[in-house]
Amino acid sequence: MVPIADSMKVFDAQKTDEYRIENHGIIGDTYSSALVTVKGTIDWCCFPVMDSPAVFSSILDRKKGGEMRVELRNETHSMQRYVKNTNVLKTELSSPDGKVVITDYMPVETDIEKHHNFIYSRHEIHRLIECVKGNADIDVIFRPRFNFGTSRTRLEKVKGGVVASHGKVTLSLSGLDNLYIDSGSAVASLRMAKGKKIALIVRWAEDDPALSASRYTTEFLQKTVDFWRRWASESCYRGKWRDSVLRSALALKLLTYSPTGAICAAATTSLPESIGHGRNWDYRYSWIRDSTYALSSFNLIGHRVEEETYFMWLLHLLRGRASMPEKLRVMYTIEGDPVPDEHEISALSGYGNSKPVRIGNGATGQIQIDIFGPIVDAIYFTYYPFDRMPDLMWRFVKSIADYTSVNWDRPDMGIWEMRNGRRRHTHSAVMSWMAIDRAAVIAKMTGRIECWQKWRNISRMMRKQILERSYDDGKGYFSGLLDDDWLDASVLVLPDTGFIDARSTEFRKTLQTIGRRLMDNGLLRRYEGDDGIEGDEGAFVLCTFWYIEALFLSGQKKAALRLFELTMQRANHLGLFSEEIDPQGGGFLGNFPQAFSHLGMIKTACVLQSKRLMNQKPKVNGLEAAH
């Protein structure tokens, strides 16, 4: 059976490497987030927002990166779980003498009377430590390091806690009076009896810890629990994997920056796809394609607000240039600015000594034609039946359809952001076709007959050409490149777009070939061949979910269900996924938690449940053909 996301796994204190990617949970407030290890160490956090410089980054360098530890002396084992249907995390540390529970969360506030969908951030981490058994001797170590550990950090003990600073930037810890400064860390040792509680608050941009009064921690805890449970209760998914679906949805919500609706690809940077090589990227930005996929998954399970917020932001990015989709970038910062140029932090050793640690992303300037299909598809499902579709949104759809009509065959870097030159990717061509197909339906249903007729004819022409250039009986599968034989798992999405029937002979042969050549110990790799980057990578979690969905749609339902159950067992103890997994060792690879992985899990669970949730429409031979 699939493990419930909130189940408890025991971690041996002597044998567990807490810094391994899979040995983490995440907390957040939809502005920023923090990773917490199974031993209660915060080893990653960016303040004040997700793509800001890190104040804790020891996951990337245990000596230089900075962290906040709560250590139980003589610890024998630990366990970790979420408070059900929330992003409030509990870590239980045990020793022969006693047991403590650390409750970690970032306070979430909303103004229910005025605007319950707007979230306010206090830019705080609350840590409630309680001794629940015997006596516990604990040590609290507060060791922030600003700017990914590259800036000098000054610690000053003050009444009620300690303040860390670098220039005008400050981070405070309140709740302890017996702290002392030692070798760049603030340290406190405590003896706790059963029933004793201590509340610690880490707060950004606060130089007076007394202002972050610890007595408010319990009050904010209840408000935060209520918020997350209220949000989770809005899900319409009631299937057998509800716990796992909600955990994935909650993870996606944590990656959503509430002021703009931008969705980060992941919470971290430079967690490697291959240990010891250079496949380390900064994923703390909002990719247009990834975000629209995430919005579609939100839509499937009943969360609609995120979509409309995001598309209003997207139109704002164009700043009145809705008729110029070519100006749309592949990715943005969560505030909507251009992503910084990619550079390396040479001072950090990297996760598992995997250099380099990168900030910014070099793919920001790439041409990726595939981004437009998911945009129009998501707009279709967001505004269907279009009685409330803004005129500005229609102009945006029209401009995308006109642009992709001309540029669909243009060489690009593709969904995998290859760094070995532009090529004509099948996935990009099909996504362009999908943009025009969906635009044609929107045009027809809004009475714009001339546009409908034009785009219908173009989509038919495109589909014919793509079929001819991506498939032939000789190789017996859809190639990842037009006029080539590159094997690529991205063609698994063809049936989902409506481009081809999953039960067709051509697609079933493709599915068989991909399973034979890309499957590795139950997990799917992205592609075969050289991608221009050093080192091999792990299996890609999203591709595995794509494969499961394709199996199901092709009629192989039992095989799909069996593989889905096995894949869910690959999640960590909290039900979270990274970008990739080592097929042999099972360790997590790549940034964490990964939006791609969790949106794929939600989508696949919905498909396997065999129910058309919300306003999903049939997708056989294109939506245009269904109308």
Q: Are residues 517 and 452 in the same domain?
A: yes
**413-418 average pLDDT score:** 92
Q: Are residues 207 and 325 in the same domain?
A: no
Banded pLDDT at 619 (limits 50, 70, 90): very low
The answer to whether position 222 is within a domain reads no
Cβ within 8 Å of residue 220, ≥6 positions away: 105, 107, 109, 122, 126
The answer to whether position 552 is within a domain reads yes
* pLDDT over 70 (residue 611): no
Least confident of 205-219, 240-254, 367-381, 596-610: 205-219
Tokens at residue 372, please? Answer: 């437009």
**268-284 average pLDDT score:** 94
The answer to whether 67 and 41 are in contact (CB under 8 A) is yes
The answer to whether position 85 is within a domain reads yes
Domain boundary among 212, 228, 258: 212
* Residue 240: count of CB within 10 angstroms of its CB: 12
* pLDDT over 80 (residue 532): no
Q: Are residues 187 and 268 in the same domain?
A: no
Taking alpha carbons only, the member of 466, 365, 373 closest to residue 417 is 365
* pLDDT over 50 (residue 420): yes
Taking only the tens place, the pLDDT of each residue in 135-173 is: 999 999 999 999 999 999 999 999 889 999 999 999 999
The answer to whether position 626 is within a domain reads no
Q: What DSSP designation does 526 have?
A: S
Q: Are residues 401 and 525 in the same domain?
A: yes
Q: Are residues 265 and 156 in the same domain?
A: no
> φ and ψ at 412, to 5 degrees?
-145, -175
Q: How many domains does the chain fold into? A: 2
* Residue 315: count of CB within 10 angstroms of its CB: 17
* pLDDT over 60 (residue 324): yes
The answer to whether position 150 is within a domain reads yes
**254-278 average pLDDT score:** 94
> What is the DSSP pairing of strand 116-121 with strand 54-56?
unpaired
Taking only the tens place, the pLDDT of each residue in 466-516 is: 999 999 888 999 999 999 999 999 999 999 999 999 999 999 999 999 999
Residue 316, pLDDT score = 83
Taking alpha carbons only, the member of 571, 614, 612 closest to residue 245 is 571
DSSP per-residue string spanning 175-199: S-SS-EEETTEEEEEEEEETT-EEE
Residue 213, pLDDT score = 54
Query: Could you give the percent of the chain with pLDDT greater than 70?
Result: 93
> What is the DSSP pairing of strand 124-143 with strand 154-158?
unpaired
Is the entire prediction scored with pTM above 0.85? Answer: yes
C-alpha span between 223 and 124 (Å, rounded): 14
CATH number at residue 399: 1.50.10.10
Residue 382, pLDDT score = 82
DSSP per-residue string spanning 88-118: -EEEEEE-SSEEEEEEEE--EEEEHHHHEEE
Residue 615, pLDDT score = 37
Cβ within 8 Å of residue 185, ≥6 positions away: 141, 142, 143, 155
The answer to whether 232 and 85 are in contact (CB under 8 A) is yes
Q: Are residues 262 and 188 in the same domain?
A: no
The answer to whether position 218 is within a domain reads no
Only one residue has tokens 């400064």, namely 181
* pLDDT over 50 (residue 416): yes
Q: Are residues 254 and 339 in the same domain?
A: yes
Residue 2, pLDDT score = 33
Taking only the tens place, the pLDDT of each residue in 101-119 is: 999 999 998 865 445 567 8
Using DSSP, state whether 62 is helix, strand or coil. coil
Taking only the tens place, the pLDDT of each residue in 434-453 is: 999 999 999 998 999 999 99
Q: Are residues 463 and 571 in the same domain?
A: yes
Domain boundary among 212, 230, 255: 212
Taking alpha carbons only, the member of 304, 256, 252 closest to residue 613 is 304
Q: Are residues 200 and 253 in the same domain?
A: no
Q: Are residues 371 and 442 in the same domain?
A: yes
DSSP per-residue string spanning 380-440: HHHHTT-TT--HHHHHHHHHHHHHHHHHTT--B-TTTT-SS--B-BHHHHHHHHHHHHHHH
Q: 479 or 609, which is more confident?
A: 479
Residue 627, pLDDT score = 44
Residue 169: beta bridge partners? Answer: 166
Q: 468 or 313, which is more confident?
A: 468
Query: Could you give the percent of the chain with pLDDT greater than 90?
Result: 79
Domain boundary among 197, 212, 227: 212
With residue 545 as reference, give the H or E element that holds it.
helix 541-553
Average pLDDT of the chain, as a whole number:
91
Largest Cα separation within the chain, whole Å, is 78
Q: How far is CA 421 from CA 172, 212, 363, 416, 481, in A?
A: 47, 52, 12, 12, 13
Using DSSP, state whether 568 is helix, strand or coil. helix
Q: Are residues 483 and 434 in the same domain?
A: yes
Residue 368, pLDDT score = 95
Q: Are residues 199 and 270 in the same domain?
A: no
CATH number at residue 21: 2.70.98.10
The answer to whether position 4 is within a domain reads no
Strands (E), 478-575: 519-520, 523-524, 539-540
Residue 520, pLDDT score = 97
**579-587 average pLDDT score:** 96
Domain range for 242 is 238-617
* pLDDT over 90 (residue 607): yes
The answer to whether position 191 is within a domain reads yes
C-alpha span between 412 and 420 (Å, rounded): 11
Residue 535, pLDDT score = 75
